[in-house]
Amino acid sequence: MTTKEKNYYENITTNLIGQKISEVYYEEINYEAIIEFWEHSTEIHSIDMNVILKLESGRIIQIKWDNEFHCFGIGLEVLEKMKQQPSGMKIINVSNHANWSKILNKKITGITVFWDTVNSIEKTELKNDSELKTVTKKLPQTWEIEVEDEKLWISTLEINEGGHDYYWSDNLTVFFTEACLQKYELIENADENYILREEIIMSKIS
């Protein structure tokens, strides 16, 4: 395990494991439309930007797509407060949505991080030339979040209003049932997973 990966896991453990969710928000592009595109279906939400969790402790956690490991993986940021939205963006409170309301005030008991690999071309400058080589990198693509007796999944996957899907995307998709998740084979195609729990941290290579 690299130092970067260790810090990533510690950030998740410190800020989320054992915490209770009190409110949930989506950060979206403001399309100024009556119909919200994020609700792809009752069981699948595809969000432009971030999923923001307000915890019972008062801490605000932003789950986001970023390029900490590679574009685009799933990351985490602690916010001091709900940020003021720039023009063209908006925050939507989804705490009362049926799939979120059933996990509010329940403890996050475990998070499994599923990693994927991607090949990228990198250019190395030599003395009188340059060299292109293929480099394999891994990125955290999906989180499986256990909230006591419930589970949900968040992935850097985009499902647009036309039903087309794009992997390693600058979007987040939330799945509330395993049946919906299986259609996209995110877990089946993962190269590695890492399990974070309240008392144990263990790694499993698949």
| Averaged pLDDT of the chain | 86
Supply 75's token pair: 């990351």
Strand partners, 195: 112, 202
User: Is-cis flag, bond preceding 72, omega within 30?
Assistant: yes
Average pLDDT over residues 78-105: 88
pLDDT digits (tens, 9 = 90+) for 152-200: 999 999 887 766 677 778 899 999 999 989 988 999 888 888 888 765 4
The answer to whether residue 90 scores a pLDDT higher than 70 is yes
Amino acid symbol at 98:
A
Place of tokens 């329940």: 106
- pLDDT single digits (tens) 122-158: 777 777 777 788 888 889 999 999 999 999 999 999 8
Q: CA neighbours within 13 Å on the CB side: how many for 155?
A: 29
**pTM, 2 dp:** 0.85
Residue located via tokens 């039903």? 163
**3-class state of residue 134 by DSSP:** strand
Question: Closest Cα to residue 48, out of 7, 92, 16, 113?
Answer: 92
Measured in whole angstroms, the distance separating CA 138 from the mean position of its chain's CA atoms is: 15
Provide the residue ranges of all domains of the chain, joining segments of one domain with +: 3-205
Instruction: State the Cα–Cα distance between residues 137 and 133, nearest whole angstrom.
Output: 13
Tell me the average pLDDT across 103-123. 89
**Cα(19)–Cα(17) distance, integer angstroms:** 6
Kindly state the tokens that stand for 51: 């999923």
From the number of C-beta atoms within 10 Å of its C-beta (0-12, 13-18, 19+), residue 64 rates as buried
The pLDDT value recorded for residue 23 is 97
Distance CA 140, CA 193 (A): 9
Structure tokens at 99: 């799939």
Question: What does DSSP assign to residue 181?
Answer: H
